[in-house]
Amino acid sequence: MPRKYHLSHAPTPVLHINYREELNEEQYAAVTAPPGPLLVLAGAGSGKTRTLTYRVAYLVENGIAPERILLLTFTNKAAREMLSRVSSLLPHDMTSLWGGTFHSIGNRILRRHAQLVGLGQDYSILDAPDAKELLSACIPELGIDPKDKMFPKADAIRELFSFSVNTQAKLGDLLAGPYAHLSEFSEQLIVLSGRYAARKLKANAVDYDDLLHLPARLLTEHGEVAASYGRQFLYVLVDEYQDTNALQSSLVDRVAGAHGNIMVVGDDAQSIYSWRGANFENILEFEKRYTGAKIYRIETNYRSTPDILEVANASISHNTKQFPKNLRSVRPSTGKPALVPLSDASQQAVFIAQRVLELHEEGESLREIAVLYRAHSHAIELQLELTRRNIPFVITSGVQFFEQAHIKDITAFLRISQNPHDEIAFKRIVKLLPGIGDRAAEKLWGLLAGKTDWFSAKTGAKSQKSWDSVCEVRRQLADPPGQSGDKLIQWVMEGFYEDFAKLEYDNFKQRLDDVRQLQEFARQFETVPDFLAQVSLMTSVDYSRSRQEDSGDVLRLSTVHQAKGLEWNRVFVIMLCEGLFPLARCMAEPAQLEEERRLFYVAVTRARDELYLSYPHMRYLRGGSGEMLQVKSRFLSEIPTELCEEWEIAPPRPQWGQGECSDPW
DNA sequence: ATTCGGCCGGTTTTT
DNA sequence: CCGGCCGAAT
């Protein structure tokens, strides 16, 4: 008698995680919710990321294959963090899970179906300066003199086009409404947008907005594509839902709409990207778009002391347009946040530097301290002071690593090797040569567009020698396909760029170092297009993290925008003056002011243990031409005085400053 | 006609 | 500290 043995279709799940124990009631309910549309309203510091990661783990443990889960985030950092946290929770291999930013997932989808929208598979991705360059090149086509002072600047036009795509509003409507100041150019701008789109297509290139827009079009116009992704993704999860714009939310709807197994997580109080088209009413309307949506609220804050949360709550209560909310702390009170008035920005810098050193001596590590501000330019004095005192710090820089001239020069060579129609990359390369400017570049492109053999074109005597080297490099790059990015960069360096950089830059050694880092980075990628896509879609924050640069014990300086989703034991928020935070340009409408206040709320809720709110009474104007009295930010005035402790800063004793910084005030 | 160097002015936030 | 504009040089 043969032994009976039953095969089961789905193995009984072996649960590795004790969800009850590791989550609180609110989180547990959301994580283990039955399929269907779920809206998770998660306050700051309430374990939003934890909830999402455990939800993914829960799905996987219940037999959902990772490749059938789509997890959308706003930053690469968030994506990476969640994926690594899921991986550490479970023994499963998570590499097949579709997790990433909207833009990187959009790119992944678009690569597979590029030909359906008239693109080649090896299309280039234009970053913001590239897009601006291409747009500028379209303006003369309209018969407009580019020197015409009246016509809007390329940057302004880019912003308009981008806003139009992201909010899915017609250009004409925007020009009649929020962009009425450009209305006299309406007709020309509408023609221009068509030209710009055509030129991108011809260059086989897409800009950031296309990475969302074109996949959305694919999913709308090609039923079979929509159906295949609808089938593939059984579950869709979206982080930071309050920051999605109309285009992003419609993209999500098209993937998840059929089955409605979607979990979105967000906090309307932390919506800070409306200038990029984000519409936090997406959260409010979620219930309408997905009938039967279940709402879960996660409101217990594990991060901050109650004193810090009281300040946050008091501030955000001045906004009218919001879900009423009140963050509850579970931690004991440890004293009130500090309110620190200072005479000017330099004294503020001295104060921060000194206080940081004191905290460090008390045993706090520098990486647990952050200084946050509204705009990068607000931190100049502080950078000087920290440098002077040898306090190590990193800035989540305004200048992106990948946007530095030498990095873009190198990647331009790689781009043209992958995509011979990449007009922007070509022009960038030839304009490096002596005696070649816009005009000559245009002519050369006319001769060489799409070609890999450049020898047939001749340039002037001045550039003859370097042009020959460039042609030779170009030939070499085209030669054996499938070379690694690392190798290609080496050829560019040896054949041309190293010699060029020596003549061009006085700090060329440092730049060559950067290129070496870039090569190192390129080794992680299997294909050159993968590498190039990552270079375009990665911020310098992501990049430094990928190199474990921030493993050192360093102080972090950051804009509030870039600090979103992060937390530190001690947080300084500086330059809290009217006109700086809230920023003057952003106070025109009440809605904008409310967004500034949400930004302040984000800043305050980054702090776990200690919060310092500082402002200078006076600010020196650029060029040393005078000083300006500053008014304390309304965001400070709105906080009841008893919630903060005001510090009185005495000026330093005469002639001490430069010494060993242990001088008590 | 073009290129390029020097100077001035201005600077939100980011994929 | 970078980009745009203008004027000088080619």
Does strand C come within 7 Å of the CB of A380? Answer: no
Q: Phi, psi at residue A174, to the nearest 5°?
A: -65, -40
CA of A192 to C1' of B4 (A): 30
Cα distances (Å, whole numbers) of residue A614 to A11, A54, A221, A361, A633:
58, 38, 53, 22, 10
Q: d(Cα A613, Cα A19) in Å, to the nearest integer?
A: 38
Three-state SS for A616?
strand
Protein-proximal positions, strand B, CB < 7 A? 1-4, 10-15
> Hey, which residues of A are catalytic here?
48-49, 239-240, 270, 606
C-beta separation of A41 from A240 below 8 A? no
Mean pLDDT of A169-174: 92
Nearest to A319 by CA among A263, A274, A264: A274
- Which nucleotide is at minimal CA–C1' distance from A595? B13
The more confidently predicted of residues A27 and A17 is A27
The answer to whether residue A469 scores a pLDDT higher than 60 is yes
Work out the angle between the directed axes of helices A246-256 and A154-167 (0-180°, nearest 10): 30
The pLDDT assigned to A424 comes to 92
Residue A391 has phi, psi (to 5 degrees) of -90, 120
Confidence of residue A542 (pLDDT cuts 50, 70, 90): low
A399/C2 CA-to-C1' distance in Å: 10
> Are A644 and A338 in contact, with CB atoms under 8 Å apart?
yes
Which nucleotide lies nearest residue A404, CA to C1'?
Answer: C2
Q: Is the CB of A439 under 7 A from strand C?
A: no
Residues 112-131 of A with CB under 7 A from strand C: 129
First-to-final CA distance of chain A: 92
Instruction: Tell me how far apart the alpha carbons of residues A487 and A484 are, in angstroms, rounded to a whole number.
Output: 5
- Are A213 and A165 contacting, i.e. CB atoms less than 8 angstroms apart? yes
Percent share of chain A, pLDDT over 70 = 91
> For residue A180, what are the contacts with CB-CB under 8 A and spacing of at least 6?
none
Place of tokens 């990647």: A411
Note the pLDDT of residue A168.
Answer: 93
Q: Order across the sheet with A262-266: list the strands.
A: A98-101, A69-73, A235-238, A262-266, A38-42, A294-298
Is the shortest CB-to-strand distance from A434 to strand C under 7 Å?
Answer: no
Residue A295 confidence (pLDDT) above 90: yes
| Distance of A408 CA from C7 C1′ (whole Å) | 30
**pLDDT beyond 90 at A12:** no
Highest mean pLDDT among A91-105, A399-413, A611-625: A91-105
Strands A607-620 and A627-629: antiparallel
CA-to-CA distance for A258 and A426, rounded, in angstroms?
Answer: 44
The nucleotide lying nearest A539 (C-alpha to C1') is B15
What is the average pLDDT score of chain A? 87
Q: Which nucleotide is closest, CA of A405 to its C1'?
A: C2
Please spell the DSSP secondary structure of A378-402, one letter per residue: GGHHHHHHHHHTT--EEE--SS-GG
Counting residues of chain A whose pLDDT is more than 90, the rounded percentage is 48
| Length A126 CA → B8 C1' (Å) | 30
- How much is the pLDDT for A521? 87
- All residues at 6 or more sequence positions from A286 whose CB lies less than 8 Å from its CB, including other chains: A37, A39, A241, A264, A293
What is the residue-wise DSSP string for A423-455? HHHHHHHHTTSTT--HHHHHHHHHHHTT-S--T
- pLDDT at res. A665: 39
**Ramachandran area for residue A574 (φ above 0: left; ψ -120 to 50: alpha; else beta):** beta
Q: Distance from residue A204 (CA) to nucleotide B11 (C1'), in Å?
A: 33
Indicate the residue type of A369. Answer: I
What are the residues whose beta carbons fall under 8 Å from the beta carbon of A664, sequence distance 6 or more?
none
Amino acid at A27: Q
Query: Cβ(A567)–Cβ(A607) under 8 Å?
Result: yes
Q: Which amino acid is at A112?
A: R
A98 three-state secondary structure: strand
Q: pLDDT by residue (tens digit) across A149-158?
A: 678 888 889 9
- CB of A176 within 7 Å of some strand C atom: no
What does the alpha-carbon distance between residue A528 and residue A417 come to, in Å, rounded to a whole number?
A: 10
* pLDDT recorded at residue A146: 61
Please give the Cα distance from A17 to A3 (Å, whole number): 34
Tokens of A126: 């234009």
CA nearest A560: which of A411, A372, A393? A372
C-alpha to C-alpha distance for A86 and A593, rounded to whole angstroms? 38
How many angstroms separate the CA of A623 from the C1' of B9? Answer: 10
- Of A240, A298, A310, A274, nearest in space to A607 by CA: A310
Residue A643 (CA) to nucleotide B15 (C1'), in angstroms, measures 37
Protein residue with the closest CA to the C1' atom of nucleotide B1: A439
CB burial of residue A180 (10 Å; 0-12, 13-18, 19+): exposed
- What is the average per-residue pLDDT within A646-659? 65
Contact A600, A547 (CB under 8 A): no
- Name the E strands within A440-594: 555-559, 568-573
Footprint of strand B on the protein (CB under 7 A): A 74-75, 101-104, 128, 208, 272, 275-276, 374-377, 396, 398, 431, 434-441, 537, 539, 541, 559, 561-562, 583, 585-586, 622
Q: Among all strands, which nt has the closest C1' to A132 (CA)?
A: C3
Look at A288-297, A321-330, A475-484, A615-624 and tell me which has the smallest mean pLDDT: A615-624
Ramachandran angles phi, psi of A458, nearest 5°: -115, 150
pLDDT digits (tens, 9 = 90+) for A86-96: 998 888 888 89
φ, ψ (nearest 5 deg) of residue A571: -130, 130
Lowest mean pLDDT among A225-229, A571-575, A584-588: A584-588
Q: Which residue's CA is nearest to the C1' of nucleotide C2?
A: A399
CA distance A101 to A638: 36
Whether the bond between A481 and the residue before it is cis, its omega within 30 degrees of 0, is: no
| CA A398 / C1′ C3 distance in Å | 15
Cβ count near A404 (within 10 Å): 13
Q: State how far the Cα of A86 lies from the Cα of A105, in Å rounded to an integer.
A: 19
pLDDT tens-place string over residues A117-168? 999 999 999 988 899 989 988 888 877 766 666 788 888 899 999 999 999 9
Distance B13 C1' – A376 CA (angstroms): 10
SS3 per residue for A368-379:
HEEEEECCHHHH
β-bridge partners, A150? none
Nucleotide nearest to A403 (CA to C1'): C2
Q: CA A583 → C1' B12, Å?
A: 8
pLDDT bucket at A14, cuts 50 / 70 / 90: low
Average confidence (pLDDT) over A317-345: 87
d(CA A112, CA A529) in angstroms, rounded, equals 13
**Å: A432 CA to C7 C1':** 22
Residue A546 pLDDT level (bands cut at 50, 70, 90): low
The nucleotide whose C1' lies nearest the CA of A153 is: C4
Listed as own residue / partner, the contacts of A4-12 with beta carbons closer than 8 Å and 24 or more positions apart are A10/A63, A11/A63
A147 strand C contact, CB < 7 Å: yes
Q: Are A188 and A171 in contact (CB under 8 A)?
A: no
Residue A665: CA atoms inside 13 Å, Cβ hemisphere, count? 13
Strand C positions closer than 7 A to protein CB: 2-6
Q: Which residue is nearest to nucleotide B11 (CA to C1')?
A: A377
Interatomic CA–C1' length for residue A139 and nucleotide B1, angstroms: 20
Residues 6+ apart with CB under 8 A from A506: none
Tell me the mean pLDDT in the region A350-377.
93
